[in-house]
């Protein structure tokens, strides 16, 4: 569990290990009204690579949002109390107007943000992002130059390292590498993590996720070379122990120790749930597809996708109705183990703790 405490003098929540928590600008009046703390957007489903495990591009959407509409969507996030937006794809940097969106988030909202990219963009985009106020950059680096890796995986990893170095030179505040653990890179995960951390780069890790969601490949059809199964449990256990030891020694590893401890189990059976299986719960993270539709989760265009767009949530009371429908949708999910979702759930729990403490304080004063 992420460590937390209520600072009663500041009416705030201080987190001891969560890198982004202190960037959420957690004013108590915003927190108390917040519907959800985090959001993630697929700015586009299109990409200039075809990485083996990525199935986002398998779903083509006929009408993706314009940049003007995405800017409007950011304002909707702000009105809901969202503190952090993750911009992903597809590949967001293929959209030339991306710096305009980053600039809007930086200058016109109070939200923290991150950009996830395959790092294959040029100097013009680089300058535009830096000048727009890019706050956090996440490069996909899953492999080093190992035999048997797919060509696009290797291209992406090399480009990611180079881009992180360029952004460091431009003083971008937070630099992070995302490592998707698969059967192909088990031998290198710990070493690559340690190397990146020694360079001052934060590392996020999660297992490869197969067969979860609309138009994604089913697990039975997935490439056996990449899939994590029970036969990898012992190997994952050793990796988890080594990563935890690195984290305790000060390595820049984003997932919590608890997440890493559970990796051998959930990394192979993908049965972790972002919702309560006993009582109705609200979305852990608000996820918006490239056409503006709301997703049930990172992987799933469910029933709510046909019913709601991000712009519908501008209407009074619609978020509560969406949450009810979302929960009905989510209950059909078999699970995953995305580290971002696990962390988001813990942050959301922290939000609920804060609200209960505030309400308890008001009651005591009556």
Q: Name the percent of the chain lying above pLDDT 90.
A: 52
Q: Find, among 92, 138, 159, 80, the residue nearest to 351 by Cα.
A: 80
Q: How far apart are the first and last CA of the chain?
A: 33
Q: What is the 3-state secondary structure (H, E, C) of the chain?
A: CCCEEEECCCCEEEECCCCCHHHCCCCHHHHHHCCCCEEEEECCCCCCCCCCCCCHHHCCCCCCCCHHHHHHHHHHHHHCCCCEEEEECCCHHHCCCHHHHHHHHHHHCCCEEEEEECCCCCHHHHHHHHHHCCCEEEEECCCCCCCCCCHHHHHHHHHHHHHHHHHHHCCCCEEEEEEEECCCCCCCHHHHHHHHHHCCCEEEEEECCCCCCCCCCCHHHCCCCCCCCHHHHHHHHHHHHHHHHHHHCCCCECCCHHHHHHHHHHHHHCCECCCCCCCCCCCCCEEECCCCEECCECCECCHHHHHCEHHHHHCCCHHHHHHHHHHHHHCCCCCECCHHHHHHHHHHHHHHHHHHHHHHHHHHHC
pLDDT band at 2 (very low <50, low <70, confident <90, very high): very low
Residue 317 Rama label (left phi>0; alpha psi -120 to 50; beta): left
Q: What's the rounded Cα separation, in Å, for the pair 360 and 366?
A: 10
Cα 329 to Cα 350: distance, rounded to the nearest angstrom = 24
Name which of 297, 292, 330 is nearest 308 in CA terms.
292
What confidence tens digit (pLDDT) does each residue in 257-271 have?
A: 999 999 999 999 889
Instruction: For 296-314, give one letter per residue: b (16+ CB within 10 A) or e.
Output: bbbbbbbebbeebbbbbbe
pLDDT tens digits for range 187-243: 989 999 999 999 999 999 999 886 544 444 444 455 667 788 999 999 999 999 999
Checking if the pLDDT of 71 tops 90, the result is yes
The residue with greater pLDDT, 27 or 145, is 27
pLDDT tens, residue by residue, 267-315: 998 899 988 888 888 898 999 999 999 999 887 888 999 999 999 999 9
Rounded Cα gap, residues 3 and 259, in angstroms: 13
* Predicted local confidence at residue 141, as pLDDT: 83
Averaged pLDDT, 247-253 = 95
Going from the N-terminus, what domains does the chain have, and what CATH number goes with each? 20-354 (3.20.20.70)
% residues pLDDT > 70 (the chain): 79
């Amino acid at each position: 569990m992420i460590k937390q405490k209520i600072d009663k003098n500041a009416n705030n929540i201080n987190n001891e290990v969560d890198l982004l928590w202190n960037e959420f600008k957690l004013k108590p009046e915003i927190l108390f009204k917040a519907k959800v703390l985090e959001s993630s957007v697929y700015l586009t489903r299109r990409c200039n690579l075809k990485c083996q495990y990525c199935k986002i591009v398998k779903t083509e959407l006929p009408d993706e949002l314009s940049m003007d509409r995405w800017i409007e969507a950011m304002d909707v996030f702000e009105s809901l109390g969202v503190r952090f937006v993750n911009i992903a794809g597809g590949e967001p940097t293929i959209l030339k107007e991306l710096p305009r969106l980053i600039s809007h988030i930086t200058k016109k909202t109070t939200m923290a943000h991150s950009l996830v990219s395959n790092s294959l963009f040029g100097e013009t985009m680089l300058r535009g992002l830096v000048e727009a106020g890019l706050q956090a950059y996440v490069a996909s680096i899953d492999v080093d130059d190992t035999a048997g890796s797919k060509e696009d995986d290797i291209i992406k990893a090399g480009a990611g390292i180079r881009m992180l170095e360029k952004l460091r030179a431009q003083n971008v505040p937070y630099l992070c590498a995302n490592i998707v653990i698969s059967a192909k890179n088990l031998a290198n995960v710990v070493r690559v993590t340690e190397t990146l951390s020694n360079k001052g780069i934060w590392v996020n890790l999660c297992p490869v996720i197969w067969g979860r969601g609309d138009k994604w490949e089913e697990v039975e059809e997935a490439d056996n070379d990449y899939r994590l199964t029970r036969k990898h449990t012992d190997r994952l256990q050793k990796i988890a122990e080594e990563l935890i030891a690195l984290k305790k020694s000060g390595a820049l590893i984003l997932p919590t120790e608890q997440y890493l401890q559970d990796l051998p189990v959930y990394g192979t059976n993908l049965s972790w749930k972002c919702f309560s299986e006993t009582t109705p719960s609200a979305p852990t993270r608000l996820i918006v597809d490239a056409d503006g539709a709301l997703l049930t989760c990172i992987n799933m265009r469910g029933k709510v996708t046909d019913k709601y767009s991000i712009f519908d949530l501008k209407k009074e009371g619609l978020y509560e109705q969406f949450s009810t429908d979302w929960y009905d949708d989510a209950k059909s999910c078999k699970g995953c183990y995305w580290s971002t979702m696990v962390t988001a759930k813990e942050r959301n729990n922290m939000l609920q703790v804060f609200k209960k403490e505030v309400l308890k304080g008001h009651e005591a004063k009556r």
